[in-house]
Amino acid sequence: MKIKSLSKIDLGFFPTPITQLTHLSSALGGPKILMKRDDLTGLAFGGNKTRKLELILGDAITKKCDTVITAGAAQSNHCRQTAAAAAQLQLECHLVLGGQAPKVANGNLLLDNLLGSTIHWAGCNRKGEDIPEIFEQLKAKGKQPYVVPYGGSNELGAYGFVRALQELETQLDTEEISHIIFASSSGGTHAGLMLGKALFDKKYRLVGINIDKDESAANSFAKSIINLANKTSHFIDSDIRFSDKDLILNEDYIGDGYGVIGQREKEAIALTARHEGILLDPVYTGRAMGGLIDMIRSGKLSKKDKVLFWHTGGAPSLFAYADSLPT
């Protein structure tokens, strides 16, 4: 791989550990399940965005920016991680969050405030529709703002997940892994893992569990993942190109849509907590683990398989869902 002048800054603790979920696996009568603990990256409660931000904010520093702007849902893990990274690097941080200010700020929102970010409430928009206006206002005040893309999903962010697979190779014999299962939402994790799998010529199946209802044109989320994987490949001067057949995006578990917790998520969170002492989150990893459990129960995964579940973080939002979680 030839990488053009890429500056990375250290924001977390790597490699993240790998745990084996022996009790959960035997309770389900299922395959061997390993878990890659990106919930333990360390940056203000961790998560997959740490890997992306190491490269994206490296770029912001190189470009001498003093302010970052990003967007997300009120309980965005990406925004909380960006706020923490900005504090660490002493950058001003502006977060554009969907919805209205709630009466009580808890979960990730509480942390965004503690970390000193400035919050702009965006009503129905949660994907950064209001960023250009805020960008211009900051410019007019003499700031040098830098826009961190939604979910950190651009070529730099996705490249963080090529590096993650490189890291995985140093930890275990990936020839034995039959599936890598993870939550897919803004697509950077998925695109980076796809490119890494191709670069390292791996055979396992990469199964992204779609989290978010695709409300735009048909298959546009799938297309955007493939597009980002191709752009990232071009970015690192690789000739690899992807098409529809290279993507596995499972859409069976979207339920009532983004951030709406259902029976499947509740059960997955409770089982993982009680059998393994590991906390999942209601929006992403709870849904992805719910999918994995269903694939075991319905026979799509068997005892012959060896599954690696990528824990992408998110547990701080449990506190914002206190009313709907099992007790």
Active site residues: 76
In this complex, which beta carbon is closest to ligand PLP, that of residue 84 or of residue 138? 84
Alpha carbons 17 and 14: distance in angstroms, whole number: 8
Residues numbered 20-79 forming contacts with ligand PLP, rule: CB under 6 A: 47-48, 77-78
In this complex, which beta carbon is closest to ligand PLP, that of residue 138 or of residue 155? 155
| Segment interacting with ligand PLP (CB under 6 A) among 7-15, 227-235, 264-272, 310-318 | 310-318
Q: Any idea what DSSP says for residue 187?
A: S
The distance of Cα 170 from the centroid of its chain, to the nearest Å, equals 22
Q: Tell me how far CA of residue 61 lies from CA of 68, 180, 202, in angstroms.
A: 10, 33, 34
In this complex, which beta carbon is closest to ligand PLP, that of residue 185 or of residue 272? 185
Beta strands in the chain (DSSP E): 18-20, 32-37, 67-72, 92-97, 118-121, 145-147, 179-184, 205-210, 249-250, 306-311
16 binds ligand PLP (CB under 6 A): no
Residues numbered 169-228 forming contacts with ligand PLP, rule: CB under 6 A: 183-190
- Per CB under 6 A, the list member of 69, 313, 318, 321 interacting with ligand PLP is 313
Name residue 95's beta-bridge partners. 70, 119
Chain position whose Cβ is nearest to ligand PLP: 314
155 binds ligand PLP (CB under 6 A): no
Smallest distance from the beta carbon of 150 to ligand PLP, in angstroms? 8
Smallest distance from the beta carbon of 183 to ligand PLP, in angstroms? 4
Half-sphere exposure of 87 (CA within 13 A, CB side): 16
Smallest distance from the beta carbon of 288 to ligand PLP, in angstroms? 8
Letters for 272-291 (x = contact with ligand PLP by CB under 6 A, - = none) are: ---------x--xx------
Q: φ and ψ at 68, to 5 degrees?
A: -120, 150
- Per CB under 6 A, the list member of 41, 154, 233, 312 interacting with ligand PLP is 312
Q: Please, are residues 285 and 265 in contact by the beta-carbon 8 Å criterion? A: no
**Sheet of 179-184, strand order:** 18-20, 32-37, 306-311, 179-184, 205-210, 249-250
153 binds ligand PLP (CB under 6 A): yes
Alpha carbons 149 and 56: distance in angstroms, whole number: 9
Q: Which residue in this structure is represented by tokens 């949660």?
A: 126
For ligand PLP, how many residues bind (rule: CB under 6 A)? Answer: 20
| Segment interacting with ligand PLP (CB under 6 A) among 26-34, 53-61, 62-70, 307-315 | 307-315
- Binding residues (CB under 6 A) for ligand PLP: these are 47-48, 77-78, 151, 153, 183-190, 281, 284-285, 312-314
